[in-house]
Structure 1
Amino acid sequence: MTLPILVLRLVVGILAFPMYLLNLLGVWNWICKRCFPYFLLRFTVIYNEQMASKKKELFSNLQEFAGPSGKLSLLEVGCGTGANFKFYPPGCRVTCVDPNPNFEKFLFKSVSENRQLQFERFVVAAGENMHQVADGSMDAVVCTLVLCSVENQGKILREVCRVLRPRSMSSDEWSAAEDEGQLSRLRRKSRDSPFVPVGVAGFVAVLSYGLYKLKSRREEKMSLRLIHVRVAAQGCAVGAVTLGVLYSMYKDYIRPRFFSVPRK
Structure 2
Amino acid sequence: MAAASTRAVTEQQPSAPPSAPIPFDLSQPPVIEGFYPSSKTKDETFKEKFIRKTKENPFVPIGCLGTAGALMYGLRAFQQGKTRQSQMLMRGRIFAQGFTVVAIIVGVFTTALKPKQ
What's the TM-score bracket when you normalise by the shorter of the two chains?
0.3 to 0.5
Output the TM-score relative to the length of structure 1.
Answer: 0.20
Output the TM-score relative to the length of structure 2.
Answer: 0.40
Q: Which has the larger radius of gyration?
A: 2
Q: Which has the higher relative contact order, 1 or 2, with Cα contacts under 8 A spaced 6 or more apart? A: 2
Structure with more of its chain in strand, by fraction: 1
